[in-house]
A and B are shown apart, each in its own frame.
Chain A
Amino acid sequence: VPASAPPVDESGFVRYIPIGLAWLIPGSGYFFIGQKARGLVILITIHGLFLLGMLLGGIKSINPSDQPIWAYTQLAVGWPTLVASAIQTRRTAWETEQNLKYDSYNANSPEQRAELQQLVAAHPPTWRFYAPKTQDVGTVYCGIAGMLNILVIFDIFARVSAEPATE
């Protein structure tokens, strides 16, 4: 029996804690059952993939209203998606506010046009920048990170469900 096998006398609930942990913090489920090296590899890879996706596509990589199916897969990453979703919701509200501010200028008025140019120079409207291909790649990275974590969750489920002697 490998040293990493869960203790036999654990009650049903305690035995399945690693599955919940594996969803919340990718890789932590393996730490819980004593497989630290495996847990570290999973922790670094899944978090790294998710962060790379966010870096490539920005916060719009997490966009449940426009990409519901990808949002479900991204949700499987756990805490990174929960945090990113909260930021994305606040960011969307902020962007709407900024857009209203920018659009409130009267383009036919030379004074307001000059004022708007100054505003754009001081605070470039980067939130209006659109990079569809890169943002799609970012969405896919975050989604695949979630799907890989589902694989990890199933693996942990198999490990904690199996009889210690058969592991």
Chain B
Amino acid sequence: MMLLAYTPFLEPLELVVPNLSNYWLVLLFPLLISISVVYRATKTYSIKLLPREALKLTLQIVAIMIAAAIVLNGLYFVITRYA
């Protein structure tokens, strides 16, 4: 019944995709890709280079985020264990 009552763009998608919010971290990827594409599109001289440069930037952001997560997790471990 909820599926029939669902109106895209008016009601949240979670109405028809239960527990979508549990996967919120995955929803970060479309955002990262968009940021990389738009940023590189404004900077690159030739638009032909855009896919490669955007992919490179996306991977760099993901790598930095993973590194930040590891450092913060380590910091949390040290503080909670020894402080």
Contacts and interface: CB of A to CB of B under 8 A. Distances in A.
B55 interface: no
A102 interface: no
Interface in B32-56: 34-35, 37-39, 41-42, 47, 50
Interface residues of B, number: 28
Give the size category of A's interface with B.
35 or more
A55 B30 CA distance: 13
A46 B31 CA distance: 10
A140 B14 contact: no
Residue of B9, B10, B11 most packed against chain A (CB within 10 A): B9
Given A58-B11, A140-B31, A141-B31, A134 B38 contact: no
A38 B43 CA distance: 10
Interface string A117-138: 0000101101101011111011
B31 to A, nearest CB: 6
Contact of B38 (A42, A51, A60): A42
B38 A126 contact: no
Interface of A: 37-38, 41-42, 45-46, 48-49, 51-52, 54-60, 87, 91, 121, 123-124, 126-127, 129, 131-135, 137-138, 140-141, 144-145, 148, 151-152, 155
27 contacts: A38-B41, A38-B47, A41-B38, A42-B38, A42-B41, A42-B42, A45-B41, A49-B30, A49-B31, A55-B8, A55-B13, A56-B20, A56-B27, A57-B12, A58-B10, A58-B13, A59-B10, A123-B5, A127-B11, A129-B11, A132-B21, A135-B12, A144-B31, A144-B35, A145-B34, A152-B38, A152-B42
